[in-house]
Amino acid sequence: MIEGTTRLVAIVGSPVAQVKMPGTMNRYFAEQGLDLALVPFDVPPAGIPDFIALLKQGRNLLGSIVTVPHKQAMAAGADHITDRARTIGAVNVVRRDADGQLHGDHLDGFGFLNAARAHGFHPRGRAALVVGVGGAGGAIACALCETGIARLVLVDLDTARVQDLGAKLRARFPTVQIDFGCATLAGLDLIAQATPMGMRAGDPLPLPQALLDTLTAETLVGDAITVPAITPLLAFAQARGCEVQTGLEMSRASMEFLGSYLGVMPTVDPAALVASPLP
């Protein structure tokens, strides 16, 4: 129950009706007996400056989880962001300190890899393809580099965006082989789909059919989309014999990292956790 003493965390997006984090995180707060609540805010892009001002002034606001389409704007409005967020050009969480300063990071990539860890995937020495290098895809690509991926393939319809991210990742992680596109999916250990393709009925598959026909059962295929749970890409991958990972798995696996950054859950090092095997 929300009282006058309740400290609040926001989750901001437009729309926000599809987000699953409030139910999951509020159940955790209730189970732990914490006087905390996660509240969704549907804010249009024009309202983000006012939302940032509210975060800075709201003394019972601890910060905000950030979803589409505000990840870039919230990064620009934060007072401090991590090197990771600066590389990606976006944040998915901001924390308010006692002085009202906003600190931002982007942890979506570690949420994706935490879910992949439950499927037995470990990045070190492996090969992965990331489809779509916007906020979520860029975060997945960066997290893969931080945790030891050997080869990373980046694909995006926006040529300038994929080239920009690739250049930044090469500068930060010179030992990682970074390619733009590939002739075959054979030999890849992971495919991470982070475009909106698959959210709406009739959407095309996010990769050309001829390339998808090279997919082998050894590849774990994951999608960042939460609705539908089984996207057309995941359905195709299942038919090829692949293990698949849903966007809902990614969302659940992100919670401990977001909660840790916001100071409402136990402290955890995302990179160390996702790089380690399950106990």
Q: Annotated active-site positions, please? A: 71
CA distances from 97 to 25, 52, 55, 79 (A): 21, 13, 10, 11
Task: Please report how the helices 21-31 and 247-262 are oriented relative to each other, as an axis angle in degrees rounded to 10.
Answer: 50
8 A C-beta contact, residue 109 and residue 140: yes
Task: Please report how the helices 108-118 and 247-262 are oriented relative to each other, as an axis angle in degrees rounded to 10.
Answer: 120
C-alpha to C-alpha distance for 200 and 181, rounded to whole angstroms = 25
Q: In the 8-state DSSP scheme, what is residue 134?
A: S
CA distances from 118 to 38, 144, 148, 278 (A): 26, 16, 18, 7
C-alpha to C-alpha distance for 110 and 192, rounded to whole angstroms = 12
